[in-house]
Structure 1
Amino acid sequence: MTPTPHTPHTSKTQEALDARDALATALTQAGIQLPAMDIRTPWVDDREVEAPYALVHLGVCSAPVAHLLADVITKGITG
């Protein structure tokens, strides 16, 4: 899967953008920042008006950040 350059804000990409922003806000409130979060969509040919899906790409993170994420998720499950 490759990011589509200049993807128009269709309902699927807007849904993914909203999800990315909500996740970034929640992570910030938990004291966690991922270095790169973006949206990925499949290449759309000229016949398709809208991408069939869009994904929130979380990028990579360091081991300490991964541990923080695990701790926050575990506390949410048990808390």
Structure 2
Amino acid sequence: MVTARQEPNTTDVTAAVETLRKALTAAGIVLSSLGADVASPSLNLIALGRVRADVALRLADVIQRGCA
């Protein structure tokens, strides 16, 4: 069986974090733990961190309204 070769993730993690932070700030949402995950830099992961329940509900509301 032949599998498709995956291209390495070349997304700029710092730019992605800042873009997400700006969008969340504009929606009145702060994720204090938001940042690049430095444990596995080759994976370009972003740590969203833990949030209070009220922040999670505000985030869900913003996403739902944006999808409508």
**TM above 0.5:** yes
Q: What one-letter code is carried by the residue in structure 2 that aligns with 1:75?
A: R
TM-score, with normalisation over the residues of structure 1? 0.67
Query: Does 2:44 align with 1:54?
Result: yes
Unaligned runs of 5+ in 2: 1-8
Identity score, percent:
36
Report how many residues are paired. Answer: 59
TM-score, with normalisation over the residues of structure 2? 0.76
Give 3-state SS (helix, strand or coil) of 1:52's partner: helix
- 1:21-64, Cα deviation, whole Å (9 max, x unpaired): 0000000000000111111142xxxxxxxx53211101110000
Q: What one-letter code is carried by the residue in structure 2 that aligns with 1:25?
A: K
- Runs of 4+ off more than 3 Å: none
Indicate the residue corresponding to 2:18 in structure 1: 21
Unaligned runs of 5+ in 1: 1-10, 43-50
